[in-house]
Structure 1
Amino acid sequence: MLENITNQEQLLAIIVSDKFDRQGIHFFTPNELSQQLAYMHHPTGKIIEPHVHNPVHRDVFFTQEVLFIKKGKLRVDFYNDAQKYLESRILQAGDVILLVTGGHGFEVIEEIEMIEVKQGPYVGDQDKTRFIGISSDQANIKP
């Protein structure tokens, strides 16, 4: 239901299965991450008090992205910072993934609809380094 993908104690990603279901608020990320991910399940009538967010200066050095899989299946390939392939996972409708560090690539297994959320602003070619990834037959898919 919840899986942390790590490599040598470095958090690469957090996968929240569509089957995750717990009452209350559950943060999956440590406070120091620049992208926070939580699950909330409240009963009818629960009041979440109105609020505004205060201006707080934050320094963000690496983009972290969240993908919400609405439809289909997606293979996610994980790489370390040196662009070495590590392993893969299959995501399906309802799953959510936070990509924290390292590299990643994707192959659409079934026609996909997904929503991506990440920090901005986007700075074009300066934002990422592209590299050659694995082929489908090289994927080491973990359950």
Structure 2
Amino acid sequence: MTVEVFERQGVKYAEVIRADIRVDITRFFSPPESSFQFGLLAHQAGFFEAPHYHKPFQREIADLQQMFVMQRGVVVIELYTDDGEFFQAIELRTGDAIVLIHGVHALRVVEDFQAISVKQGPFLGTENDKINVEAKKK
């Protein structure tokens, strides 16, 4: 099994790792140049990684990506093109994870849910975080 990739006209909009995907060794699905790395960490019992920190490195990030890791419930993530044309609905359940890479998205809650949300900072406040897009009919 591998990550599910959702593309339209050569543009990657999202990647999903389903809860039942298993890997034997650590595997990242994002290309190395991506501003947001998405993958699975896996090691055998007894593995030890020495205490460490990550080297400071100035990065310039022009795209804001977001990741959800579903802890409970069911949601549907709707993907839209930049001009608001709907093209994909993705159902997520407990244990599934998605990274939203490009484009417009909406979230529809099917069953009460909770998810871990991760995105690049800094957070600029609610009024500066989102731009609503007029969606075209599905």
Tell me the TM-score normalised to structure 2 length.
0.92
Query: Residues of 1 paired with 2:134 and 2:82: CA distance?
Result: 14
Structure 2 partner of 1:111: 112
Partner of 1:58 in structure 2?
A: 59
How big is the shift at 1:82? Answer: 1.6
Could you tell me whether the CA contact under 8 Å between 2:71 and 2:113 is conserved in 1?
yes
How far 1:98 moved relative to its partner?
0.5
Equivalent residue for 2:29?
Answer: 28
Off by >2 Å, runs of 4+ in structure 1: 124-128, 131-135
The superposition leaves residues 97-116 of structure 1 with CA deviations (integer Å, 9 ceiling, x where unpaired) of 00000110011001101110
Distance of aligned partners of 1:49 and 1:134 in 2 relative to their CA distance in 1, 3 Å threshold: farther
Q: TM-score, normalised by structure 1?
A: 0.89
Segment drifting more, 24-33 vs 125-134: 125-134
SS at match of 2:113: strand
Identical residues among aligned pairs (%): 29
Contiguous gaps of at least 5 residues in structure 2:
none
> Shift in Å at residue 134 of structure 1?
7.0
Deviation per CA, 1:45-101: give whole Å up to 9, x if none. 111122211111100112101100000000010011222111101000000000000
Distance 1:7 1:33 in 2: 18
2:37, 2:136 → 1: CA distance? 29
Question: 5+ unaligned residues in a row in structure 1: which ranges?
Answer: 139-143
Q: How many residues align?
A: 136
Decide whether the 8 Å contact of 2:84 with 2:136 is kept in 1.
Answer: no
The residue aligned with 1:141 is none
Is 1:16–2:17 an aligned residue pair?
A: yes
Q: What is the aligned-residue RMSD (CA, Å)?
A: 1.5
